[in-house]
Structure 1
Amino acid sequence: MNASARLDATPRLEDFPYRLTDNVRFADLDPNQHVNNAVYATYFETGRVTLMKDRSYGLTFEGFAWILVRLDIHFRAELRWPGAIEMGLGVSKFGRTSVTFDQVVFSEGRCVASARTVTVLLDEISRKPTPLTPEIIASFRPWLRRGTELPIAT
């Protein structure tokens, strides 16, 4: 199945190895009394940053930073307050300097939003993208979305 077809299919939470929960806040609502579309970017950011900044996972490297370069959101259903959400994240692709994540937000067993995000490894001094090493790619192995294959090391 190609990536774009998979993005349009209804995601299954069990395909995302990294998960965390949060609450819908009253402040997340817009005048229509559902979660504002801009808030979803914050939900997806929370998932990425919580994973990437946890030093025990080995995804952050001295002198380098991960920066977001693309965020594509598919809004699937209304989300209302009060309620809880479960966020899922899985690596779906590696580029020369980038890691692509598929992310989801579920509420009451239903996917309310999904996203594809692209982050680039940046050298903090030169401010230039830095190629991923085989070791960096290997550090992401536990976080591959179900059905995603690692590239063959050369």
Structure 2
Amino acid sequence: MSFEFTTTVDVRYDDLDTYGHVNNVRYGTYLEEARIDYLAEVVARGDRSYLSAEGEGTGIVIANLELDYERPVQSAEAVTVGVRVPRLGTKSFPFEYEVRDGDAVAATGETTVVTYDREAEAPQEIPDDWREAITQFEGL
């Protein structure tokens, strides 16, 4: 897979299990950090303020999470996570991920997110500015 957007996520000491591997539940956190970085750069053009708990307007909620583990990550300082959006629906869209430890793929995953009106506390259509930014970045 090729990814236009990648980000580095630090592997913390408490991410490791008793075998010295990154614990399986930590991969979801790595995907979350990468997804936030993607949205901050691609949609918000570097402005992370929309992510705060007091934020207004559009947010996202996770409708589905899938992970496939290829190989363990052992005592790495950081992993690289590739992120892409392959298509856009009306109110939802998927993120695809690839977690790499050096040159080796450690895991792949996908989340489906639903755009969410924070004030109405209900799903909403993907905002036009989000759609335009993602479409332009991904070449959709």
TM-score by length of 1: 0.76
**What pairs up with 1:38-53 in 2 under 5 angstroms?**
38-53=25-40
Partner SS state of residue 56, structure 1: coil
1:120 Cα deviation from its structure 2 partner = 0.9
Provide the rounded CA distance (Å) in 1 between the counterparts of 2:19 and 2:106: 16
Return the letter of the residue paired with 1:99. F
Question: Could you tell me whether the CA contact under 8 Å between 1:102 and 1:117 is conserved in 2?
Answer: yes
1:83 Cα deviation from its structure 2 partner = 3.3
Question: Could you tell me whether the CA contact under 8 Å between 2:100 and 2:106 is conserved in 1?
Answer: yes
Runs of at least 4 residues off by over 4 Å? 57-62
Question: Could you tell me whether the CA contact under 8 Å between 2:16 and 2:75 is conserved in 1?
Answer: yes
**What pairs up with 1:74-153 in 2 under 5 angstroms?**
74-144=68-138, 150=140
> How high is the sequence identity, in percent, across the aligned residues?
24
Instruction: Give aligned pairs, total.
Output: 133
Provide the rounded CA distance (Å) in 2 between the counterparts of 1:57 and 1:23: 20
**CA RMSD of superposed structures (Å):** 2.3
Q: Which runs of 5+ in 1 are unaligned?
A: 1-11
TM-score by length of 2: 0.83
